[in-house]
Every structure is written in C-alpha cells, then in structure tokens.
Structure 1
Amino acid sequence: IEAGESCDNFTDLDLTHCFVGTTLYVRLLLYTRSNLDCGRELNHHHLSSQPLFSLSRPTAFVIHGYRPTGAPPIWINHIVHLLAEQEDMNIIVVDWNKGAANLNYFTAVSYTREAALNLTGFIMTMEAEGASLSSVHLIGVSLGAHLAGFVGANLKGKIGRITGLDPAGPMFTRATPEERLDPSDAMFVDVLHTDMNSFGLRGAHGHIDFYANGGADQPGCPKTIFSGKSYFVCDHQRSVFLFLCALNRTCTLTGYPCSSYSDFLDARCLQCETFKPASCPILGYDVSPWRETLQQLGQTKVFFSTTDALPYKKLMYRVDMVTWNQYLRWGVVYIRLHSGRNVTEARIDHKLLRFEQYTSTRLLAQFDEDLQHIQKISLRINTGNVIGPRYKIRLLRVRFTPLELPERPLMCRFDIIMEENIEVAFRPLPCGSRL
C-alpha cells in the first residue's frame, strides 16, 4: 500500500440512523494478503481498475446480517485474517450496513433481495471478465445467509459454495426454498445452527447442517432476560465464534451424522462409516474430504456438543457397561476422570437410563476438559431412591473408548459392585487384561 493512501473501512452508523432508518447502499471492500488491514472499495462495474483484485484467485464474500445498532460487526477483522490464512484469495466484505441498520427488522429483510441483485451483478461482471463461478464462496451470517442464498439462486446454483452461519429465523419460518437459503443455491451448501428457537431458522437448509448442542441453547449463554442484550444475541452470535475458531484450527469440532440430538446423546450415532475413507465431517473451511459424499447424500444432519468457552471442544468417550443386578433400576450416571489433582466430570442426565439383569448399556460421556493420563475413574448411578434400602448394582464390565483420539488406550474394568447413589472409584486397566 502506498504511503499516504487511506483505507476504506466498514460503514459505522449510530443509533440515530437506526431510528430514522437507512436506505440500502452496498459497498464491496476488498482485502487480500497484501492489504489485510486496509480495505479497498471496489467499483461494481470496472474490476480492471483495482490492481489488488485477481480473477485467477478464489473469492470469498463475507455477508453480515441485521445490524440493529448500526455498529460494524466485531468479528469482521478476525474473519478476514483467518480466511487469508486458509489460501491466497480475494476476500470481499459486503457492507450493506446502510439497509441492515434499521430498528425495523422487516425493512432490513426487504432489502436483502435488492442487495442480492447488486451482488449478483458484481459476480456476473467477475464471470464476464474471466473468473470461474465455482471458485466463489459466499459466507453469510444470519440474514446474510439468506442474502447469499438469493445470490446463489439468481446465478442458478452455479457458485461453488455457500456457508450459512445460523440463517435468520424471523420472517423465514414458513418460507419456501425459493424464499430462503436452500441446497440448490450453490454446488455445496454448509450450514451451522446455534439459535433455532429464537433468531435462527429451524430445520435443515444445506447439503450438511451442523447443529451445535442441538442447534438451540448454547452453554455459557444467559438463560434469563436479566442479563440484558447478551440474553438476546449470545446463542445467535455463537455460530460466528464457532466458525472463527474452526478457521483458526484451534477448534476441531466433529459433527456426527444423526437424525436428532437426543439420539446423538444416547450414543446411537458415534460411527461415520458413510464417509470412508475420511472420518466424520469437521466444521470449518476445508470440506474437500466429505464434499462429494455429502453432495450425493442430499441432506445430512450432523450433531456435536461444545463447552461454554474457547476452544469449545469436549473430550468424548463411548462407555459400554454390562450390568447384572437383581432389581430393575432407573437412574442417571455421573463419571469422573482423575489425573493427578485434575478432575473432570460428565453427567449423563438428559434422560433416565435403565439398569437391569444382564443388560448392555452404551453411553456417550462428554467431558469439558481433556485429561490425558487417567489414573482413576469414579462412577455414580443416581436413582433418586432416598427411602428404604440402597440396592446394589453389579457391573460385569465397563469399557471406555476414546472417540476422535484413536491413539489413546481403551480403558476397562471388570466386576464392580456398587450401591445406588454412592460413588465408586477404580483404577482403569488396559482392556486386554483382566488383572
């Protein structure tokens, strides 16, 4: 960048603009590896006049959503830098803040079609000058996800990829596929859901849909209105932060194909045979290992759980138990892993489990911390029985299989007698031996 040249920054509006209402004006801010901190506004019609823009590089468009306060999104700078790390590309921030910044959400919704036409025209200019549509990737947040879908539909689904981060729900819940983001809008559509019961859209809208923690309530987000603004936006914004973390490669968030989150929690979906030779799909930029399979499958839903803060990843074990007890008991299970002074606990309490004579039970145990050398495991089965005698529960075998970490050893223990509601601790053994 020449000394003395000024940068073009994202439009910064304030609340007065939102009260009065803004009329749509779309700016395209270009960032490349050579101008990561200094955006350059592109002319919609003359690409050749911008030397930093290269038609031979792939192009990613970043499209924000509704901006009720008019302030620039706090994550714009992060996403630009992280995308530039993935590969050498043109990164274009689609600034439609004049249009998205309105206290009236319906006005912003009505502008999405117009903004999409504007962006479609620009991409058609790119194509006319020699760019390939298959190298175009639209990343849309909330309302921006539907805007990306409209652009894709205008271009007959020929663009390479659309990533929808928690597509907006309000005004789109009864929309037909033509009126919202859907898999026909691009050659590949991946969607992440984090707030389906409020600002996000329910259902499945891509070739692959990732549902974080079931897609609705995110851990660490406030549960009551007394927390002010974050009560409204925390779950919805989590989609952006999970995606940024995945781009940063600090979060390896693996999605398990499943029909529902409760089936996933019930340990019914812990295999990924469909995706051989690759493993389960991982959230993020590089989808090449799964892309073909997912395009053939049509629509795939995948589920994962996260912790409440960076790096969001949970440590997961499949736990197989064989119980042998005289009386049928129902209960929830608490498992603790101990490594030195560190302890991490998994609570498998989303529903009551059945323990009876000679039954195999498979559980999914998810821990917030990754402890490596496990010296002790403690186990408690809570039945809620507080009156009368405590029943004994005998475990003929319990086996811990680490998921996503094939290099870690399997841990077993045989013949444990425990009482309901009382914690029992044991040293895990390698599964080959019974000593």
Structure 2
Amino acid sequence: MFLWQYLAPFLLITIQICRAQTCEDFTDLDLSHAFIGTSLRIKLLLYTRENATCGILLSHTNPTAHPQFKLSRPTTFVIHGYRPTGSPPNWIHNITDMLLSRDDMNVIVVDWNHGAANVNYMKAVENTHKAADNLTALMKKLQEHGVSLSSVHLIGVSLGAHISGFIGASLNSTIGRITALDPAGPLFTGKPPEDRLDPTDAQFVDVLHTDIDALGFREPLGHIDFYANGGTDQPGCPKTIFSGGSYFKCDHQRSVFLYLDSEEQKCASRAYPCTSYSDYMDGQCLNCDRFGTAGCPVFGYDITKWKDVLLNLGQTKTYFSTNKKSPFCMTNYVVDIVTWNQEIRWGYITIKLHSGSKEAVATIDHKVSKFKKFTQTKLLAQFDKDVPSVKKISLKFTTGNVLKPKYKLRVLRMRLTPIERKERPLCRYDILLPENEEVTFRPIPCEEYNF
C-alpha cells in the first residue's frame, strides 16, 4: 500500500503523457468507401514545430484547450479537395513541413475525407457548404478565445478553395488570407460570387491556376491570379489517356507541388501581368513598373509582400512558365536578334548558356519567329536553370522543314538581357547560323547599354 501511494501519481502522469503524444493520422479510406458514399465528418489535425510529424486531434468546441495550440502564433488551415478514391493526399506532410519551416505557427489540417470521398462528385460539392458551416463555427470559437481572424490563413486545394471562400464570406471578409490552389471548376464555373470563391472572401486572396481546361476554374478569382504555363497542360504531365489516372489529375495536382516549391524557396517564379499567355510568351508583358521597386510579383508563400500594391491595382492576372519537375522555376531573358538576310526567314531558336560545368537551355518554339533584314526580333528566352557568370553561348536555328533546302540565318547582332536581375546584357555580332547546326561563341558586354 505504501509503494502504491508513490507509484499511483507516477502512473497517472505517464498515462497522460502517452495520451498527449498519441498521433492522429489523416483518414485513409479506399475505393469501396467512395462507391458506397461517405457522409461528412471533419477531423482537425494540429501540427506545430513541437509536434511537426505528429498530428494532434483538436476539439471542435474548444480547439484552443490543447497546450500545443498557442494563441500568440498565426494559424494556417490546409483544406484538401475531392478524394474520389478515398486515399489521403500524398502532399499533406510535405505542406505542413514547409509551412512550419517558414514560420512558427499553428498548422491545422482539415481532414474531411469522410465527405470528399465519393464517386459522385455532386455529393462532394454539396458537402463543401456543410464543411464550410462547420469550420465557420470553429473560427468563431477561435475568435471567442482571442484568436484574431486577420492572422488566419486558409490554404484550399480544388474544392477546398471554395470551402475557404464560403468560410470567409460567412465571416464578413475578416479572414486574413486565402490561398487557392487550382480552385475546382466543374459545378462552380458560371456561378455567382456567393456560390464560389471570390476576392471579397478575405482581406487578401491569391490564386494559382494549373488546369483551367478540365478540373480547374478558368476565370480570375482573387486579388492576384497566377496562371502557370497559361493554366493548362503542365510540362511533364501525361498527354494521353493511356497514362492512367495521372492523365486526369497531374495538371490539377501540379498546383500543390508548385506551391511547395515556392515554400521551400528552392527558386523564385516571377510572374508578369498580361492579357494573355500568348502575349506573355511573345515577350510583350515584361514591364513591372506598376509594382514599384519590388518589381513583378513572385508566385508563392511570400506574395503578401505585394499585398498593398495589388489591393490598389484591383484584380491582376499574371503568367509564368515552369520546368517539368522540381525545381520548377525558370530564368528569363530577353533575346534581341537583328539579321541581314536578303529574304525573310522563319524559324525557331535554341539558346544554351554555359558556365564551367553548368548549362542552361531555352528553346523558343511556342510559335515560328519572323526574321527580317535590319529589323529587331524580340523573343522571350526561358532557361531551365540559372547560370550566373555566363562564359559561352550556343545558338541553333531550325525551320522544322524536313523536305526543303537548308537555310542559313545571318545574325548582325544578338543581345541577351536578363529580366530578373540588373546585369549588363551580353552581345555578339556577325554570326552565321547554318540550319540545325549549333554555333558556340564567347559573348561580350553590350556597349550600347546604360544602367
């Protein structure tokens, strides 16, 4: 009995610690659940720097009661989308890790897999409104306990983007920020603002579009809308249905991986305001004066640096291009070519930058370019990586005509100007480019350029 008096408190403390350290996993369902259909059930999984790999189940009625939830920290909610097979999103742990690496915050993963897992997409869409009502009540509880809604950030993927919008609208736009990653298009396109995400749903709304011709939403929905690769046909994604499920989801899901890349700060994708992706690819939209000294906005987590300017500008559509895989960002240059062929030449240009063992490639083939004597042809060159201190440049001219005679492009002057950093352009004069042959040379700083 004497021993028990000492052991009992120790055992109770041990049990409490074990309970506190119990990790809650994201709901893992399978295709059978989706066929049967699931009713809405929401779990709130808290991650902080103290429990970065261990989800803590929060109470809907008293979410701040858990000691790991700190009122002094900002809070970010991650809300997934439609789950037709019932499996957990494969990016959940990546996004919590990246968010926590950026800031000391409360990250709450909203697990509504029960409700999102359904082969009947219409039922999942119906559940977005129910999920939003549930989470709106939660936000009000947080507010009652001292959480400022202006410090709340909602990251919504696909259907989760519209859930975020419904929450924000119900709270009279007091939510600080909504980030929408390829908001769902089916059953939302053409709907009025109250039935979808729109810029008035939060103090700041930033949106990424990657699949506007299928699963995503085509029109702008935020204060700033980013269209990666024009919003369609993401590089590296399957082009035919024979690739299986990835053919349907790759473009749509790319939005998450682009966002993860931005959070990891592997590289920056600067986006340019433009009326169309075609004009952007033609190099017609590279003026960033309207954004002041910060320049054109960089896609991703840190877009709030441009918040004040964007709120004054109104809705802004921007475009950027990416690589096939991570790191997705590209390095942009303007290339000006003046030729002296007697006749007009039509064709494509491939440029390589060399510095030691590093090499970057830009193939300008989105449309055929026109080269006219003594006329400057301006092209946007997007390189797959950044190569500082360029030592050599290679050029190749092609026409794509297999049966016609081979032509030569006589270049009077080639000038390569970096867009993202202030450096003297590189030039080369009097170059002969036989068709389909790569010509390599050492560039020189352009004499006619003034900072």
User: Which of the five TM-score ranges fits, normalised by the shorter chain?
Assistant: over 0.9
CA distance in 1, matches of 2:227, 2:401: 35
The residue type paired with residue 365 of structure 2 is D
The aligned residue for residue 11 of structure 2 is none
C-alpha deviation, 1:127, in angstroms: 1.4
Question: Using the alignment, how far apart are the partners of 1:46 and 1:370 within structure 2?
Answer: 49
* Alignment counterpart, residue 411 of structure 1, candidates 426, 429, 433: 426
**Percentage identity across aligned positions?**
57
Give the corresponding residue for 1:76. 92
Task: Name the amino acid aligned to 1:77.
Answer: H
1:124 is aligned, of 133, 137, 140, to 140
TM-score normalised by L of structure 2: 0.90
Distance 2:94 2:405 in 1: 59
Query: Whose helix proportion is higher, 1 or 2?
Result: 2
Map 1:390-401 → 2, pairs under 5 A:
393-401=409-417
Is 1:11 the counterpart of 2:15? The answer is no
- TM-fit CA distance, 1:430: 1.6
| Residue 418 (structure 1) shift | 3.9
Larger radius of gyration: 2
Aligned residue for 2:214, secondary structure, equals coil
- Tell whether the 8 Å contact from 1:384 to 1:421 is kept in structure 2 after alignment: no
Deviation at 1:422, TM superposition (A): 4.7
DSSP 3-state at the match of 1:52: coil
Question: Counterpart of 2:344?
Answer: 328
Equivalent residue, structure 2, for 1:379: 395
- How many Å separate the matches in 2 of 1:65 and 1:399? 46
Match of 1:156 among 142, 159, 172: 172
Partners of 2:444 and 2:428 in 1: CA distance:
6
Q: What's the offset of the Cα at 1:391?
A: 5.4
Structure 1-normalised TM-score? 0.94
CA distance in 1, matches of 2:364, 2:442: 21
State the shift of 1:385 in Å: 5.7
Distance 2:402 2:112 in 1: 61
Give the whole-Å Cα distance in 2 for the aligned partners of 1:151 and 1:262: 35
CA distance in 2, matches of 1:141, 1:217: 18
CA distance in 1, matches of 2:402, 2:48: 65
Q: Deviations over 1:50-103 (max 9, x none)?
A: 222223321111000011111111111111121112222111111111100111
More displaced 10-residue stretch of structure 1: 361-370 or 187-196:
361-370
The alignment partner of 1:145 has SS state of helix
Q: Is the 8 A contact 2:189 2:217 kept in 1?
A: yes
1:286 aligns with 2:302: yes
Residue 5 (structure 2) aligns with: none
Q: Is the 8 A contact 1:32 1:52 kept in 2?
A: yes
1:55 aligned residue: 71
Q: Equivalents in 2 of 1:300, 1:103: separation in Å?
A: 35
Q: Give the secondary-structure state (helix, strand or coil) at the position aligned to 1:199.
A: coil
| Alignment equivalent of 2:218, drawn from 185, 202, 213 | 202
> Deviation digits for residues 83-138 of structure 1, max 9, x if unmatched?
11222211111111110011111110000001000000110111122221111110
- Structure 1 residue ranges (4+ consecutive) displaced by more than 6 angstroms after TM superposition: 386-389
Structure 1 residues 400 and 114, CA, compared in 2 at 3 Å: closer, same or farther?
A: same
Equivalence for 1:180? 196
8 Å CA contact retained: 1:193, 1:215: yes
Structure 1, 393-402 or 267-276: larger mean CA deviation: 393-402
Does residue 429 of structure 2 align to residue 429 of structure 1? no
Change (3 A) 1:390 1:281: same
Give the unaligned 5+ runs of structure 1: none
CA 1:383–1:400 in structure 2 vs 1: closer, same or farther (change >3 Å)?
Answer: same
Quote the Cα distance in structure 2 between the aligned partners of 1:274 and 1:241: 29
Q: Deviations over 1:356-397 (max 9, x none)?
A: 122111111112233334333232333356677765543222
Letter in 1 for 2:208: L
Rounded Cα–Cα distance in structure 2 between residues aligned with 1:137 and 1:213: 26
Aligned-pair Cα RMSD in Å: 2.1
* CA-to-aligned-CA distance 1:12-36 (integer Å, 9 cap, x gap): 1122211111100112112222222
Q: Name the aligned partner's letter for residue 58 of structure 2.
A: L
For residue 414 of structure 1, what is the amino acid of its counterpart?
Answer: Y
Counterpart residue number, 1:102: 118
CA distance in 2, matches of 1:318, 1:387: 31
Q: Give the 5 Å matches for 1:297-308.
A: 297-308=313-324
Alignment of 1:29-48 (within 5 A): 29-48=45-64
Name the residue aligned to 2:329.
313
Count how many residue pairs are aligned between Structure 1 and Structure 2: 433
